[in-house]
Amino acid sequence: MSRKYFGTDGIRGRVGEHPITPEFVMRLGYSAGKVLAATDWHLAQGENPGVLIGKDTRISGYMLESALGPVPTPAVAYLTRALRLQAGIVISASHNPFEDNGIKFFSGNGTKLPDETERTIEAGLDSPIVTMPSTRLGKAKRINDAAGRYIEFCKSSFPHDLDLRGLKLVVDCAHGAAYHVARPVFHELGADVQAIGILPDGKNINDGYGATAPANLQKAVREHQADLGIALDGDGDRLVMVDAEGRLYDGDQLLYVIAKHRKAQGALHGGVAGTLMTNLAFEHAMRRMGVPFARAKVGDRYVMELLQQQGWQLGGENSGHIICLDRHTTGDGIISALQVLHALRASGQTLAQAAADLVLCPQALLNVSIAKGVDLSGHAGVRAAVSAAEAALGDKGRVLLRPSGTEPKLRVMVEGDDGAAVQHWAKTIAQEVHKAAQA
């Protein structure tokens, strides 16, 4: 059974439009609380459940909560687990513009919820809200040292026998939730840090800054003659990096640097998980290294599920979600950056050198707006365009069409060894999708 509201990363939408309204969010919180606390042994002992609420910097977050200030999504995952709470809730739309917002849930062990739990929460949305007896009512309080706890947690993921002294970094926080925590992490480990994207005003989150808009980071790295640039997204769970020359490195390349280093050190346990969007060159690189590789559906929660099924520790997406299960229970941009820096400091290599032997296949990704819930995969014109592309690319390329889990769009991805052909077929298929959507 499909989910009506939950996508690949919680529930998102335009603020003020269903479902991102105070009334819906209240019902969502009520249903989620009942589901997430239902089997907890603490309740059987007469204790009230505890829920941690965090948010990013977009202005609509104030409408949806009043309990806690901005902290990155990974911080909520960590603190929920560290404080032995029953659930964590993040008010954020991640990399989306400020007009959007959303809700993400974490279980008591700091992991995102499986599909079945989300379906159970949705099933309870129409149940009447019943006020608990006065003896069972709870209260909201601020965790004043939340940011400090998270900073120390991030630093603890970096080896104690290494530091970042002599390294000049530019860190871009996207005017998002990590604006006050990212710089201290790298600075306290010894780096000279110039931070940008750290002036949130409620409306500028992800606007020209961060992992989805790295041009300002590339410019700042060159201007400050920095060794590296680090870009997070609005809620701090994505990472892209820039080298001293201003070259951009995506999630596949950064995951490769981590995996290669761990393999060389004998510290790579099992294989590496990617997604349907992971570059074909990454899969071939893992094969050359003798490392098992498997693809999950798009979404870091599905990467996590695959890692747990396989008993592996390392996985990620080319969008910049990287999961290191020996360091955290979820994707974390700051911790992922520290794992890359660990590989570089231990090997003595630059980022360019560490990633040099992974030559990505040309890949084109186009987004076509469609009505939510519309399936165009069976449309004759779309099918014909996909078939023609697959025949032309042969075994040296692939085509992937998938609906976005966070926006009303269809992602059209074409990959192959011929860049011009990849661009041509991506545009051809996207045009057919657009025609079908307008019909």
% of the chain surpassing 90 pLDDT: 62
> What pLDDT score does 137 carry?
67
CATH number at residue 184: 3.40.120.10
> Does a structural domain hold residue 287?
yes
Backbone angles phi, psi at 34, to 5 degrees: -65, -45
CATH number at residue 376: 3.30.310.50
Q: In this structure, are 17 and 131 located in the same domain?
A: yes
> Does a structural domain hold residue 151?
no
Give the separation between CA 269 and CA 262, rounded to whole angstroms: 9
pLDDT beyond 70 at 376:
yes
What single DSSP character describes residue 86?
S
- Domain boundary (137, 153, 177) is at 137
The arithmetic mean of pLDDT across residues 22-37, rounded, is: 82
Q: In this structure, are 21 and 132 located in the same domain?
A: yes
Q: b vs e for 233-262, b when ≥16 Cβ sit within 10 Å of the residue's Cβ?
A: bbbbbbbbbbbbebeebbbbbbbbbbbbbb
> How many domains is the chain built from?
4
Structure tokens at 430: 């996207």
Give the separation between CA 106 and CA 114, rounded to whole angstroms: 10
Of 6-10, 63-67, 269-273, 401-405, least confident by mean pLDDT is 63-67
Determine the residue type at 411.
R
Q: In this structure, are 393 and 276 located in the same domain?
A: no
- Going by C-alpha positions, the residue among 211, 214, 213, 174 that lies closest to residue 195 is 174
> Does a structural domain hold residue 152?
no
> What pLDDT score does 223 carry?
97
Backbone angles phi, psi at 145, to 5 degrees: -105, 20
pLDDT beyond 60 at 41:
no
Q: In this structure, are 295 and 380 located in the same domain?
A: no
Q: In this structure, are 236 and 262 located in the same domain?
A: no
Q: In this structure, are 111 and 42 located in the same domain?
A: yes
- Residue 240, CA distances (Å) to 129, 224, 248, 306, 333 in order: 43, 18, 7, 23, 8
Q: In this structure, are 384 and 268 located in the same domain?
A: no
- Domain boundary (355, 375, 399) is at 355
Strand 272-275 and strand 51-55: pairing? unpaired
238-264: pLDDT as tens digits: 999 999 999 999 999 999 999 999 999
- Higher-confidence residue: 125 or 431? 431
**Catalytic residue status for 94:** yes
> What pLDDT score does 150 carry?
95
- Domain boundary (194, 218, 247) is at 247
> What pLDDT score does 65 carry?
62
For residue 19, is the peptide bond before it cis, meaning its omega torsion is within 30 degrees of 0?
Answer: yes
Catalytic residue among 92, 94, 319, 404: 94
Q: In this structure, are 73 and 121 located in the same domain?
A: yes
Give the separation between CA 186 and CA 326, rounded to whole angstroms: 20
- Going by C-alpha positions, the residue among 293, 295, 301 that lies closest to residue 329 is 301
> What pLDDT score does 373 carry?
72
> What pLDDT score does 71 carry?
73
- Going by C-alpha positions, the residue among 60, 12, 93, 16 that lies closest to residue 408 is 12
Give the separation between CA 12 and CA 299, rounded to whole angstroms: 14
Q: In this structure, are 345 and 333 located in the same domain?
A: yes
| Residue 368: how many other CB atoms lie within 10 Å | 20
> What pLDDT score does 66 carry?
46
Give the separation between CA 233 and CA 409, rounded to whole angstroms: 20
In the sheet with 168-172, reading across from the earlier edge strand, the strands are 192-196, 168-172, 228-232, 239-243, 248-249
> What pLDDT score does 40 carry?
52
Contact 66, 140 (CB under 8 A): yes
pLDDT beyond 70 at 349:
yes
Give the separation between CA 355 and CA 340, rounded to whole angstroms: 11
Give the separation between CA 376 and CA 199, rounded to whole angstroms: 41
The arithmetic mean of pLDDT across residues 199-212, rounded, is: 94
Average pLDDT score over the chain:
89
Q: In this structure, are 240 and 261 located in the same domain?
A: no
Res. 21 pLDDT band, cuts 50 70 90: confident
Give the separation between CA 66 and CA 139, rounded to whole angstroms: 11
Determine the residue type at 2.
S
In the chain, the N- to C-terminal Cα span, in Å, equals: 28
Range of the domain at 129: 11-137
Structure tokens at 379: 């449309």
> Does a structural domain hold residue 339?
yes
Structure tokens at 154: 């991030």
The arithmetic mean of pLDDT across residues 193-212, rounded, is: 95
Backbone angles phi, psi at 232, to 5 degrees: -105, 165
44-61: pLDDT as tens digits: 445 667 788 888 888 878
Q: In this structure, are 338 and 420 located in the same domain?
A: no
What is the enclosing helix (H) or strand (E) of 104? strand 100-107
Q: Is 34 helix (H, G, I), strand (E, B) or coil?
A: helix
The arithmetic mean of pLDDT across residues 152-163, rounded, is: 97
Spell out where 285-356 has E strands.
293-296, 314-316, 322-324
> Does a structural domain hold residue 20?
yes
Strand 239-243 and strand 248-249: pairing? antiparallel
CA dihedral sign of residues 55, 58, 60, 62: positive
| Residue 141: how many other CB atoms lie within 10 Å | 8
Contact 140, 165 (CB under 8 A): no
Structure tokens at 410: 């269809």
pLDDT beyond 80 at 62:
no
> Does a structural domain hold residue 84?
yes
Q: In this structure, are 104 and 24 located in the same domain?
A: yes
- Going by C-alpha positions, the residue among 219, 179, 181 that lies closest to residue 201 is 179
> Does a structural domain hold residue 76?
yes
Q: Is 168 left (phi over 0), alpha (psi -120 to 50) or beta?
A: beta
> Does a structural domain hold residue 153?
no
Give the angle subtended at the CA of 303 by the CAs of 297 and 308, to the nearest 5°. 125
